Amino acid sequence: MNGRDSDKVPLLHDGSALDGMTAAEWLRRARKYRRLTQVQLAERSGVSKNHVSQLELGQRALSKVDTAVRLADGLNIAREHVWLVALRDFERKERARLKK
């Protein structure tokens, strides 16, 4: 896993524990698990503090690969785990949309 300690970030080893958790909730939880402020994550990832805040509040979707990669690097976790979170969140929203 690229030498990263992803197994220490909660909920991500196989993605199964992500059920019911939004990408916004997961991002906030992962950041706090790493004991980072939004400002620190922004500095480490190159994603603005405002963008991080909007992602955590669910005001923006984690839909861009480059943003997911930067956040993964900033959180020091495997990139595929962040992308899995984003994919699961998209699938959840799409299922809800189709039920309407």
pLDDT band at 9 (very low <50, low <70, confident <90, very high): low
Model pLDDT for residues 63-75, shown as the tens digit of each residue: 898 999 999 999 9
Quickly count: other Cβ atoms within 10 Å of residue 5's Cβ.
10
Domains of the chain and any CATH numbers:
7-99 (1.10.260.40)
Tokens of 20: 């019911």
B/e letters for 36-65, b = 16+ CB within 10 Å, e = fewer, are bebeebbebbebeeebbeebbeeebbbeee
Task: Look up the pTM and report it.
Answer: 0.78
pLDDT of residue 31 exceeding 60: yes
Euclidean distance between CA atoms 84 and 50, whole angstroms: 23
